[in-house]
Amino acid sequence: MSSAAAGPVADSLIQARFPATELAVRAQIARVRACLAQTCTSAALQENVAILLGEILNNIVEHSLAGQRDARITLVITREEAGLHVETQDSGRPLPPQLLTSARLPEMPVDRVDLPESGFGWFIIHALADDMVYERVNGTNRLSCRLTEPAR
């Protein structure tokens, strides 16, 4: 199931190239959920993929591609023995290196009701993803990771 082909990938469940907008991201996550619901993935893995994609794709829209008209995101999800492999590509700004190494929660010197709305995304991404790899080649960002079936 895809919006548009992103190139041939063996055993791919999803290959999509879509506009870098909040609405397109929301629609793509819904498509991913529908596709995964028809596969053998568990409900827990489906939810983890949706959360991970929400964080990654919205970061691409809000930070990497902010202000770029007609920008597009490529998404490929393939099945692996122990779970799924997720890869995104975009032509936006490079990912700041500290985001790849930091899996810490942001400082929270406030009461729970006053917590900020942002700053948690990369902590969530690190918590859900295994083997995360980021590359920037010829002006293209490529972020890939694995998600394994959660233990029962």
The secondary structure of residue 112, as a DSSP letter, is: G
Bridge partners (DSSP) of residue 91 are: none
Tell me whether residue 56 is exposed, middle or buried, using C-beta atoms within 10 angstroms of its C-beta: 0 to 12, 13 to 18, 19 or more: buried
Among candidate residues 150, 151, 142, the one with its CA nearest the CA of residue 76: 142
Strand segments (E) across 81-125: 83-90
Beta carbons of 55 and 26 less than 8 angstroms apart:
no
Query: What is the pLDDT of the chain when averaged over all its residues?
Result: 84
Domains of the chain and CATH, by start? 12-148 (3.30.565.10)
The pLDDT of residue 96 is: 82
- Give 92-137 pLDDT, tens digit per residue: 999 887 767 666 555 556 555 554 445 567 888 989 998 899 999 9
Q: Quick one: how far is CA 8 from the chain centroid?
A: 20
- Which SS3 state, helix, strand or coil, does residue 50 take? helix
> pTM value?
0.83
- Give 16-36 pLDDT, tens digit per residue: 999 999 999 999 999 999 999
